[in-house]
A and B are shown apart, each in its own frame.
Chain A
Amino acid sequence: MKINDVILQTVTRIVVFIILTLGVYLFLSGHHNPGGGFIGGLVLASAFVLLYLAFDIETVHKGTPFDFKIVAAIGVFISVTTGLGSLLFGSHFLTQTFAHVHLPVLGETELATVVLFEVGVALTVVGTVVTIILSISEDV
């Protein structure tokens, strides 16, 4: 019996964007408010999981044409290389810095190297969580 899950799919279409937005918001707000790379990554991952639940794997793969294992690897790579970056400026490994810069559109903005590090964390979390869930569910 083919189950007609049109309601689920329609709701998902809308909800996924809300979740993705929330994930990005949590990620960006982490510096001053609750949130950060880890939580942001988990929330983003849950958006992908919801997609996989609502649609079949092939459809999702067409929409998101990247391998989550590679995403996770890129995440680890970014985190480690940002740590190495500080060595170029004569600091210790993983030294983070920040500055207040005046940008054309955004105005007075705080830029911090810790965001780059957190990008790595977030990508690793997204990649790993989706990889684990996909691997197990594909095995069923």
Chain B
Amino acid sequence: MNTVITAIMLPFLAAVLISLLYKRLPRTRIGWFVLFVPVSLFIILARYIPAIAKGETYSYSIDWIPSYGIRFSTYLDGLSMIFALLITGVGSLVILYSIYYLSARESLHHFYIYLLLFMGAMLGVVFSDHLFVLYAFWELTSISSFLLIAFWYHRKNSRYGAQKSLLITVSGGIAMLVGFIMLFVMAESASIRELIATFPSLSNESLFLPAMILILLGAFTKSAQFPFHIWLPDAMEAPTPVSAYLHSATMVKAGIYLIARFTPIFGGDAIWFWLISGVGIFTLFWGSLNAVRQIDLKALLAFSTVSQLGLIVSLFGLGSVALSFGSSTESVIYTQATFAALFHLVNHSTFKGALFMVVGIIDHELGTRDIRKLGGLMALMPITFTIAMIGSFSMAGLPPFNGFLSKELFFAATLNIQQVDLFSLATWGWLFPVIAWIASVFTFVYCMIIVFKTFFGAYHPEKLEHHAKEAPIGMLISPIILACFVIGIFLFPNVLGDSLLRPAMTSVFPSIAQVSEQLPSISIWHGFNGPLYMTIGVIAMGVLLFRILRRWQPVYRLLPPEWSLNALYNLALVQAEERSEKITRSYMTGNLRDYALYVYLFFFITIGGGLYLTGAFSFDMSNNAQIRIYEWILVFVMMIAGVAILFAKSRLTATLLNGVLGYSIAIFFVLFRAPDLALTQLVVETVTTALFLLCFRFLPEWKKETYKRKTKVFHAIIAIATGTLVTLLALSVQSNKMFESISVYFENAYELAGGNNIVNTILGDFRAFDTMLEIVVLFIAGLGVFTLIKLKAGKEEQNIENK
């Protein structure tokens, strides 16, 4: 079987195995069993790196639902390789870390099952070539993430955070599904590779723009872009390994993967460019601005993740401009932005994973993450401090760490974009470097907060739950490995660039042939140029702002808390619940008369309106028979009786008047020569009138109606309208006889059924099935009456169901 499908399925199989084995395995061993999965997957996938670097791709597919053309097709190229290595690599480290982080008293088997589900789903997302298979895995990541966030489900905040993240990401997921369906309709293919191959013909379709926006909604909600970033800080209620894995390295990058994957299809379009780069750069700014005000280290990291994701997304936007130039040497300059995005994607996973693990260690060892209580830990936790410093300085973009290189590339890309003479960039292009620079200053400030507020200053043992000491070695291994990567990538960036990033560039820009050859290699020292001056400015301004942090921090209090996006989200939830309840209460009154009103209104509007619009009302009186005097008299009697019922003061009167109507109908049957019907009608009318009288003895006095005059008039209007409609319907039907009657056939009753009474031969012979079921109905009604009266279930005080 194909390696990629094995890779997707292995975590799911392992999850099933855990559920079978967890009672036999000692609790502490589960983690080690799980660790085996990502490590082996990482090794298997890493073996493909040289082949991928040479530009080879692997695809494999098996039928899933062949009648709908849904194939479980996988595709391994440079882009999915990067993500898969991140998922399995960071996954291994996180699982190793979690073995030491979680105590054996937690329900570990649940934790690892959810985590494996998530890992498998994430691998499925990055390897899927089929749109709908991708969507299935996409939702599976949302669901497993929901389960992981609410791992400590007894906490209120965990449940709140899980619900919030599920609502937001699944809404985006549904939007994305609609977008996928649109793409499928346009291209008549659900394979992403085929879509890319046919993309030039797509851009003129009318569904192109809606599909693009809907797919972007999915990507933005998953990747926590403004204004959908609000779920990410609340998702920090999850255990720290989960935060490190899902909310820094993998799940939030699913949206980025989606953007990268669909760039060949949508890239080169002005709306795509402005949406992605605009939203991305604003998210970068907004996230960094909000990170500075946080007092919880994990919340700070959450906002920094939002901000860094914005950076990556905006770089993908800036890079997509290259596609509008087509295949030329000039366009290769702009693809550098995408190269920087991929590079920062990897870098971010390394340093952010390490930072989350560090915060987890602090939380685990000291019992708090509040920076107001922390301080002076440098000497007490030297290894943790070193890792935190490496991670933070890398995030701030300082040498000698990998964040420096990707930030330089980012600045270069924002400066380059001003030279583009497309999409009115000549007018607005200057905004990109300016916002990027301001956001980088804030990034620098919060990175300094992480390091200096936590590890420098005075140590306050009285504020802490435990005395500070270095973490056990098991918890330190993973962040140390990640920190080594942070430095290693800085020292040898081109190893990563050549083996992983270049092949990925070919996946993002398949139409620009020269892209992977002509990219310049990353150099640590790139001379005195714009980006370097910007970095120096960032450091100078950042140090200054950090020094006077106390003086300008009150700025954040200017905006009242009611104005935040969270308040808006909560308000929307509360309002949705209240409003919908109010609406439901307003029409579900519990009054049967109201429900009858809806039925008649609906009948009147749909049938009447529908027939009126289709012009079905037409009257033709020429074929009507002469009306005789008896019929006039009978109709007159019936009308009087019918109107009199409305004004009857007692129930007895109403019943008798009803009887008058029934007997008149029997006489009509006589007049229209239906003796069988007349006989039946007479007897049935007698029996029902007798039954009515019998039953009404037990009912209370007929009260006068207490409806308001307005309601009564309204009821009258509805009644008259419905009556008129039925009359019109009957007249139209009578006037439009389209087919010959089939009753000629029944005239042969004697030959066919041996009877002269046509009505009875129809009832007993031609259409005896109806009769048979009617007597069954009658029988059931009789039994119903009998049981209702004899059982008297309602009169007993005890509820029978609870016996």
* Interface residues, chain A, with chain B CB atoms under 8 Å away: 26, 30-39, 42-43, 45-46, 69, 72-73, 75-76, 79-80, 83, 93-94, 96, 98, 110, 112, 114, 117-118, 120-121, 124-125, 127-129, 131-133, 135-140
Would you call B676 an interface residue if the criterion is a C-beta within 8 Å of the partner chain's C-beta atoms?
yes
Cβ A76 vs Cβ B775 within 8 A: yes
CA distance A127 to B764 in the complex (A): 19
Cβ A36 vs Cβ B753 within 8 A: no
Cβ A132 vs Cβ B785 within 8 A: yes
A79-B775, A96-B764, A136-B695 known; 13 new pairs, CB 8 Å cut-off, are A30-B764, A31-B760, A34-B676, A34-B757, A39-B683, A75-B779, A76-B776, A83-B768, A110-B754, A114-B753, A129-B687, A131-B782, A139-B789
Cβ A36 vs Cβ B783 within 8 A: no
Would you call B691 an interface residue if the criterion is a C-beta within 8 Å of the partner chain's C-beta atoms?
yes
Would you call B679 an interface residue if the criterion is a C-beta within 8 Å of the partner chain's C-beta atoms?
yes
Cβ A80 vs Cβ B753 within 8 A: no
CA distance A137 to B679 in the complex (A): 25
CA distance A139 to B753 in the complex (A): 45
Cβ B676 vs Cβ A96 within 8 A: no
Would you call B675 an interface residue if the criterion is a C-beta within 8 Å of the partner chain's C-beta atoms?
yes
Residue of A nearest to B755 (CB): A31
CA distance A72 to B778 in the complex (A): 9
Would you call B680 an interface residue if the criterion is a C-beta within 8 Å of the partner chain's C-beta atoms?
yes
Cβ B676 vs Cβ A36 within 8 A: yes
B window 630-683: CB within 8 A of A: 675-676, 679-680, 683
Cβ A121 vs Cβ B775 within 8 A: yes
Cβ B779 vs Cβ A73 within 8 A: yes
Cβ A39 vs Cβ B778 within 8 A: no
Cβ A69 vs Cβ B786 within 8 A: yes
Given contacts A31-B754, A39-B683, A137-B694, contact A131 B676 (CB under 8 A): no
Cβ A135 vs Cβ B775 within 8 A: no
CA distance A100 to B248 in the complex (A): 93
B116 to chain A, nearest CB (A): 57
CA distance A76 to B785 in the complex (A): 17
CA distance A36 to B695 in the complex (A): 30
Cβ B764 vs Cβ A80 within 8 A: no
A57 to chain B, nearest CB (A): 15
Would you call B765 an interface residue if the criterion is a C-beta within 8 Å of the partner chain's C-beta atoms?
yes
Q: Which residues of the partner chain B approach A94 to less than 8 Å between Cβ atoms?
A: 768-769, 772
Which of B683, B757, B765 makes the CB contact (< 8 A) with A96? B765
CA distance A107 to B763 in the complex (A): 28
Cβ A46 vs Cβ B683 within 8 A: yes
Cβ B754 vs Cβ A98 within 8 A: yes
Would you call B756 an interface residue if the criterion is a C-beta within 8 Å of the partner chain's C-beta atoms?
yes
Cβ A136 vs Cβ B775 within 8 A: no
A23 to chain B, nearest CB (A): 10
Which of B683, B684, B756 makes the CB contact (< 8 A) with A31? B756
Given contacts A75-B775, A76-B776, A79-B775, contact A117 B768 (CB under 8 A): yes
CA distance A31 to B757 in the complex (A): 6
B window 723-751: CB within 8 A of A: none
13 contacts between A and B (CB under 8 A): A31-B755, A32-B755, A34-B757, A35-B679, A43-B683, A69-B782, A76-B775, A114-B764, A117-B771, A128-B778, A128-B782, A129-B687, A136-B694
Cβ B754 vs Cβ A37 within 8 A: no
Which of B690, B761, B778, B790 makes the CB contact (< 8 A) with A124? B778
Q: Which residues of the partner chain A approach B573 to less than 8 Å between Cβ atoms?
A: none
Cβ A79 vs Cβ B772 within 8 A: yes
Which of A26, A39, A125, A132 makes the CB contact (< 8 A) with B775? A125
* Interface residues, chain B, with chain A CB atoms under 8 Å away: 675-676, 679-680, 683-684, 686-687, 690-691, 694-695, 697, 753-757, 759-761, 763-765, 768-769, 771-772, 775-776, 778-779, 781-783, 785-786, 789-790
Residue of B nearest to A94 (CB): B768
Residue of B nearest to A99 (CB): B754
Q: Which residues of the partner chain B approach A72 to less than 8 Å between Cβ atoms?
A: 779, 782
Q: Which residues of the partner chain B approach A129 to less than 8 Å between Cβ atoms?
A: 687, 782
CA distance A96 to B753 in the complex (A): 7
B606 to chain A, nearest CB (A): 36
Q: Which residues of the partner chain A approach B684 to less than 8 Å between Cβ atoms?
A: 42
Cβ B756 vs Cβ A32 within 8 A: yes
A18 to chain B, nearest CB (A): 16
Cβ A32 vs Cβ B757 within 8 A: yes
7 pairs of A and B residues whose beta carbons are closest in the complex: A98-B754, A128-B782, A34-B675, A32-B756, A42-B683, A114-B764, A124-B775
Cβ A80 vs Cβ B772 within 8 A: yes
Which of A46, A76, A83, A98 makes the CB contact (< 8 A) with B753? A98
Q: Which residues of the partner chain A approach B783 to less than 8 Å between Cβ atoms?
A: 69, 131
Given contacts A136-B694, A136-B695, contact A124 B779 (CB under 8 A): yes
Q: Which residues of the partner chain A approach B769 to less than 8 Å between Cβ atoms?
A: 93-94
Residue of A nearest to B680 (CB): A39
Cβ A117 vs Cβ B675 within 8 A: no
Q: Which residues of the partner chain A approach B785 to less than 8 Å between Cβ atoms?
A: 131-132, 135-136
Which of B691, B754, B768 makes the CB contact (< 8 A) with A136? B691
A42 to chain B, nearest CB (A): 4
Q: Which residues of the partner chain B approach A124 to less than 8 Å between Cβ atoms?
A: 775, 778-779
CA distance A116 to B786 in the complex (A): 27
Cβ B768 vs Cβ A34 within 8 A: no
CA distance A118 to B686 in the complex (A): 23
Residue of B nearest to A97 (CB): B754
Cβ A39 vs Cβ B764 within 8 A: no
B351 to chain A, nearest CB (A): 78
CA distance A137 to B690 in the complex (A): 11
A64 to chain B, nearest CB (A): 17
A76 to chain B, nearest CB (A): 5
A92 to chain B, nearest CB (A): 10
Residue of A nearest to B678 (CB): A34
A121 to chain B, nearest CB (A): 5
CA distance A119 to B510 in the complex (A): 83
Q: Which residues of the partner chain A approach B755 to less than 8 Å between Cβ atoms?
A: 31-32, 98, 112, 114
Q: Which residues of the partner chain B approach A93 to less than 8 Å between Cβ atoms?
A: 769
B244 to chain A, nearest CB (A): 70
B659 to chain A, nearest CB (A): 16
Residue of B nearest to A129 (CB): B687
Q: Which residues of the partner chain A approach B764 to less than 8 Å between Cβ atoms?
A: 30, 36-37, 96, 114, 117-118, 121
Q: Which residues of the partner chain A approach B789 to less than 8 Å between Cβ atoms?
A: 135-136, 138-139
CA distance A110 to B756 in the complex (A): 12
CA distance A121 to B686 in the complex (A): 20
CA distance A129 to B690 in the complex (A): 12
Residue of B nearest to A37 (CB): B764
B655 to chain A, nearest CB (A): 15
Q: Which residues of the partner chain A approach B675 to less than 8 Å between Cβ atoms?
A: 34
Cβ B778 vs Cβ A125 within 8 A: yes
Cβ B779 vs Cβ A42 within 8 A: no
Q: Which residues of the partner chain B approach A128 to less than 8 Å between Cβ atoms?
A: 778-779, 781-782
CA distance A108 to B243 in the complex (A): 97
A99 to chain B, nearest CB (A): 8
B671 to chain A, nearest CB (A): 15
Which of B691, B754, B756, B760 makes the CB contact (< 8 A) with A132? B691
B650 to chain A, nearest CB (A): 20
Residue of B nearest to A122 (CB): B775
CA distance A35 to B697 in the complex (A): 34
CA distance A135 to B778 in the complex (A): 15
Residue of A nearest to B782 (CB): A128
CA distance A114 to B768 in the complex (A): 9
Q: Which residues of the partner chain B approach A140 to less than 8 Å between Cβ atoms?
A: 694, 697
CA distance A79 to B744 in the complex (A): 28
B755 to chain A, nearest CB (A): 4
Cβ A135 vs Cβ B786 within 8 A: yes
